[in-house]
Amino acid sequence: MRKQTIFLASFFALLFLASCNLLIGQTSPNNNEINEPVTPLAEEEVEPQPGEPSLEENLEPTDTPESVQPPAQEEPQLPPAPVQEYIYPQNVIAPLSAGSDITISYIEMIDTPNGWAVGGTDFEGDHILRTGDGGLTWQDVTPAEVPASGDVAGKSAVAFFQDSQIAWVIYYNLGGASIPVQPVVWSTNDGGANWTPSAVLNVSMASFFSPVALWFDASAVGWLLVEVDAGMSKSYAFLYQSLDGGYLWEAIASPTIVPAEGSDGIQSCGKSELIFADILNGWMLRECPGLYSFNFVDKTTDGGSSWNMIELPPVPDAEVASNGFCTPFDLNVFSADSLKVSLHCQDFSSDEPEDFYYLYSTSDGGVQWNVFELPAMDASFLNETIGWSLGRDMYQTNDGGATWELVKTVIWDGQFSLVDANNWWAVARDGDNIELVYSSDGGKTWQIIEPVIGK
């Protein structure tokens, strides 16, 4: 009986302890761990394999939520300006009739038989002419340009003749209504048989429209320099560039385009010449008599967007420098670094101003210059060593301008076109008289050509 009572007491004690374990939710078989907190298992460290980046190396600062940036919003792009097509006028500059005599005002021969000219006989405007027989006969290949009318004193052409087939031409008004209604650049690749007009140039900000220079390189990248306003030692200009052979033109320098930092700009002084050696490197001449204390040429190395003055050394005669001023002219460009430029100086110390001419030559892009006296005003070089100084007295150099030898003296002033050392053409002027002349012996003798429109 007593054993039974002890068994029952033991049974009820075990039952009470089991119920307590259920109430406190502990399941560990070890009574010593019942009241201790449960510790979570630590994460197992994994050693990186050779050549495999560690976890820390894979995490970048941008992986954290705080550094995640929203996608950048693109600025809205303005639509391109609409292209204004040339509208062919009902009236165009009338072609010259076959057999008629003509006056050549500018000539540029490509080789001995082939060349181009600007000329004509009428008020309507300059005619574009082409020869295939050395200038004896000419074809009128003028594009469909609207003629001068009303108070316009005439229409003049600025042209760039690349070879016997490829050329570009732009017209502008002389006096009166100084901005053409549709200023365009005409282009031909078949000797003028057919011409294509460019899109109409945007000249809405211009007070007048006076093209100074038109230039294309061998890849048909082109530049057009146009003066559009003036005032207070300024001659405001647009420099346009074409990347498609002359159809679309974009202003890369203008009165409203801020020059790049470090650039001198081109808006002061009148512009006279522009030549590019390639699509990046070009040279420009400006006429600034008395405005600067030094003489300079302008150079670009980025295709014309920015320009910098390249200062020229002082002229050799200090009295000439102190008693007058000088103007650069006649660019002869051989490469991006090699060129020659002439300088015309006037000394006003006496009653009659005295003229002096100098030749500046560089082969390192304008860092260093050689300076020589130039015997006459114009300078024309076939290459870096052989050239001529052409005025009423004509001289030749075979050493790049260091020494000169007299070739011929004439009684007229000329605009010259030299094909080689022997074959020369010139538009000869003496007062109001004008003739086309030719030399086959390097300027020693000349004969008059009477040009006519061929049949």
| The two structure tokens encoding residue 3 | 């054993």
Residue with tokens 């209604």: 181
Q: Which helix (H) or strand (E) holds 160?
A: strand 155-161
Q: CA 129, CA 95: separation in Å to the nearest integer? A: 10
Which two structure tokens, joined as six digits, stand for 415? 């605009």
Q: In this structure, which long-range contacts are made by residues 153-157, counting pairs with CB atoms below 8 Å and at least 24 apart in sequence?
A: 154/123, 154/124, 154/125, 155/93, 155/124, 155/125, 155/126, 156/125, 156/126, 157/118, 157/125, 157/126, 157/128
**CA 193 → CA 143, 164, 315, distances in Å?**
9, 12, 48
Backbone angles phi, psi at 416, to 5 degrees: -105, 150
Q: Say which DSSP state 65 is in.
A: G
Other Cβ atoms closer than 10 A to 277 = 17
Cβ proximity of 400 and 383 under 8 Å: no
Q: Are 363 and 332 in contact (CB under 8 A)?
A: no
Structure-token pair, residue 427? 């538009």
Could you count the other beta carbons within 10 Å of the beta carbon of residue 100? 11
Q: Which residue has the tokens 């290949």?
A: 141
Q: Count the neighbouring beta carbons within 10 Å of the beta carbon of residue 122.
A: 13
- Per-residue pLDDT 10s for the chain (455 aa) are 444 444 434 444 434 444 444 334 444 434 444 344 444 444 444 454 554 444 344 444 444 445 555 555 555 555 566 789 999 999 999 999 999 999 999 999 999 999 999 998 767 789 999 999 999 999 999 999 998 877 777 889 999 999 999 999 999 998 755 788 899 999 999 999 999 999 999 988 889 999 999 999 999 999 999 999 988 778 999 999 999 999 999 999 999 998 888 888 899 899 999 999 999 999 999 998 878 889 999 999 999 999 999 999 999 887 887 788 899 999 999 999 999 999 999 988 888 889 999 999 999 999 999 999 999 888 999 999 999 999 999 999 999 999 999 999 999 999 999 999 999 999 999 999 999 999 999 999 999 999 999 98
**CA distance linking residue 321 with residue 312, whole number of Å:** 12
Q: Which residues contact 234 (CB under 8 A, 6 or more apart)?
A: 267, 268, 269
State how far the Cα of 254 lies from the Cα of 67, in Å rounded to an integer: 44
